[in-house]
Amino acid sequence: MIVVLLIVSYIAGTIPFGLIIAKARGIDLRRVGSGNIGATNVLRTVGKKEAALQLP
């Protein structure tokens, strides 16, 4: 059970949620702001709610 949880956690950690959230709003994070797909660029370009979703 622990091994399955570790594998699922690893896979979930590799998903670029910032990029997905911004794409849903029609913004390509790689082309705006700093070009980074992290929470700070999501905050600057998309908004507070979306950055809060992406942060954890």
Tally of domains within the chain: 1
Is residue 4 domain-resident? Answer: no
Predicted local confidence at residue 32, as pLDDT: 94
- Measured between alpha carbons, how far is 1 from 23 in angstroms, rounded to an integer? 34
- Establish if 47 belongs to a structural domain: yes
Report the distance separating Cα 42 and Cα 3, nearest Å. Answer: 32
List, for residues 2-52, the tens digit of each pLDDT value: 999 999 999 998 999 999 999 999 999 999 989 898 899 999 999 999 999
Residue 5, classified by CB atoms within 10 Å of its CB into exposed (0-12), middle (13-18) or buried (19+), is exposed
Query: Would you state the structure tokens that stand for residue 50, as one six-digit string?
Result: 């979306």
Q: pLDDT band for position 54 (50/70/90)?
A: confident
The DSSP letter of residue 15 is S
Report yes or no on 2 lying in a domain: no
